[in-house]
A = this chain, B = another copy of it.
Amino acid sequence: MFQKILVANRGEIAVRIIRTLRELNIRSATVYSDIDRPSLHVARADEAYRIGPGPSAESYLRIDRVIDTAKRAGADAIHPGYGFLAENSDFARAAADAGITFIGPSPEAMDMMGNKVAARRCMVERDVPVIPGTGEPVESAEEAARQAEAVGYPVMLKAAAGGGGKGIRVIHEKEELSSALERTRSEAAKAFGDDTIFLEKYIENPRHIEVQILGDGHGNVIYLGERECSVQRRFQKLIEECPSAAVDESLRRRLGETAVEAARAVSYEGAGTVEFVMGKDRKFYFLEMNTRLQVEHPVTELTTGIDLVREQILVASGEKIGRKQEEIHLRGHAMEFRINAEDPSSGFLPSAGRVSNMHLPQGPGVRNDAGFYAGYDVPTIYDPLLAKLIVWAENRDLCIARSRRALHEYSIKGLRHNLAFHTWTLRQEAFIRGEYDTHFIDDSFRPEMLKPAGTEEDLARIAAVIRAWLDRDRMEITDGPARGPWRWVARREGIGGK
């Protein structure tokens, strides 16, 4: 077993990995940029090493510095977390060259899955279903028509250089195809300087379903249930569930076995995720494989009872997976809410600043994976994920009820965040019924929906008025301890004030 592991990441995921290292009695080392010196992962690790200035390109993304730090610290393995260098095969190779174990799959598996065209080809060879389409650029209108006929309408035209929902056009009928191709091509040329177009089947009401898999170096691969990740805003996941409301036992088995087949195709070692898109007909297609721990891995941990970071480390140290497929059981239901420093009432603009106070929810079924603390200055140069709230309950309905309760308890003061957005989502009929797809948020969320009406209006007035009233009496009560006469009164009554 490893003696010391370098956690080459920051924020909530670094803190989460350090927790498991402590439980395994493995010494944890981590890296930090100048701006991250007061970050939680530095305080929680056993050792911490400066790695460069704030911008990630000069610190967390510097392969040379991370490897040098691992050597200097005497680490025998590196855990990359997610993001930054987690899916960089050069990094994995550099670690191997330095004689340090990279906790993840082989560089070859990373390269294969990192190349979309190659990955698709590899899946087709293994009979893993991919979205019917060309896989090659469309050269002419005739060819487009022929292919569209083959895969069946509706189809989608996709600019090769597009992404994030841009350069896409959906065609429902044969008659539209030829002119749509022309328009998509000319728009792509204008927008991206590249008019290469692919054609594929358009999946209606698509759900984003992914399967957690775990492989070892001894030929064992198992799946650990699916995750439903269709609550997205502009392709950013916001809420994830395990299990999916759209998946039953037999579908779960088929998804799982397909994911295992995909992983076997690249002799996958470690924890990985196979992403599928699933249509309303419950047919599913391979999208891509993420060769790392996912942000949303805790929902799988809560339903399977398995610590995925622990499994990653055991497998990387050469151990066999200690459990068989038939020993994996999902129990209850889990949901993860990503708590971001962004303001849903004004277009999800990022927010930054000092967390003046916070209160995390507690009690039955509540797990917090947080990367911040009261007094922390949230920097603007990294991603806005402050923390994850993960909730478990006996079934999906109870999990929704418990999540509402937990969000009700959650408080972060000092900067804008998206707690109110999650509360909104939990009130939506589509979400409650479990009948939603990846368009759900973009189609139905409007910022003004965050302002509720009802009897609480009166109460809000009252509260605000009291504040004004107190303020008038020279009671300084914003952003700091109560001072002045109120404090004195409080003491006299024995309820506060030292």
- A binding-site residues for B, Cβ under 8 Å: 15-16, 19-20, 22-25, 35, 37-38, 44, 298, 301, 305-307, 331-332, 354, 359-360, 362-370, 373-375, 377, 393-394, 398, 401-402, 404-405, 408-409, 494-496, 498
Find out whether the CB atom of A37 lies under 8 angstroms from the CB atom of B363.
no
Find out whether the CB atom of B16 lies under 8 angstroms from the CB atom of A363.
yes
Given contacts A19-B405, A25-B401, A363-B19, contact A307 B394 (CB under 8 A): yes
CB contacts (< 8 Å) of A354 on chain B: these are 498
Closest to A362 in B: B368
State the Cβ distance, A187 to closest chain B Cβ, in Å: 43
Given contacts A22-B405, A23-B405, contact A363 B305 (CB under 8 A): no
Find out whether the CB atom of A363 lies under 8 angstroms from the CB atom of B369.
yes
Find out whether the CB atom of A370 lies under 8 angstroms from the CB atom of B377.
no
Bound Cα distance A494, B405 (Å): 36
Find out whether the CB atom of B394 lies under 8 angstroms from the CB atom of A301.
no
In the complex this chain forms, how many copies of it are found? 2
Find out whether the CB atom of B360 lies under 8 angstroms from the CB atom of A367.
no
Most B C-beta atoms less than 10 A away, residue of A23, A38, A370: A23
Find out whether the CB atom of B15 lies under 8 angstroms from the CB atom of A363.
yes
State the Cβ distance, A42 to closest chain B Cβ, in Å: 11
Q: Is the interface of A mostly helix, strand, loop or mixed?
A: mixed
Closest to A379 in B: B494
Bound Cα distance A498, B375 (Å): 10
Find out whether the CB atom of A19 lies under 8 angstroms from the CB atom of B401.
no
Find out whether the CB atom of B305 lies under 8 angstroms from the CB atom of A35.
no
Find out whether the CB atom of B405 lies under 8 angstroms from the CB atom of A495.
no
Find out whether the CB atom of A35 lies under 8 angstroms from the CB atom of B364.
no
Find out whether the CB atom of A496 lies under 8 angstroms from the CB atom of B367.
no
What are 5 inter-chain pairs, A to B, with CB distance below 8 A?
A: A15-B363, A44-B409, A305-B394, A363-B367, A377-B496
Find out whether the CB atom of A495 lies under 8 angstroms from the CB atom of B24.
no
CB contacts (< 8 Å) of A359 on chain B: these are 373
Bound Cα distance A354, B495 (Å): 10
Find out whether the CB atom of B19 lies under 8 angstroms from the CB atom of A364.
yes
CB contacts (< 8 Å) of A301 on chain B: these are 364
CB contacts (< 8 Å) of A496 on chain B: these are 38, 375, 377
State the Cβ distance, A337 to closest chain B Cβ, in Å: 15
Query: Knowing that A23-B404, A363-B369 are A-B contacts, what are 10 other residue pairs whose CB atoms are under 8 Å apart, sorted by A's residue number?
Result: A22-B404, A23-B401, A23-B405, A38-B495, A354-B498, A360-B360, A362-B370, A364-B367, A365-B367, A375-B496
State the Cβ distance, A164 to closest chain B Cβ, in Å: 32
CB contacts (< 8 Å) of A15 on chain B: these are 363
Most B C-beta atoms less than 10 A away, residue of A362, A373, A402, A498: A362
CB contacts (< 8 Å) of A20 on chain B: these are 364
CB contacts (< 8 Å) of A307 on chain B: these are 364-365, 393-394, 398
CB contacts (< 8 Å) of A331 on chain B: these are 305, 331
Closest to A399 in B: B23
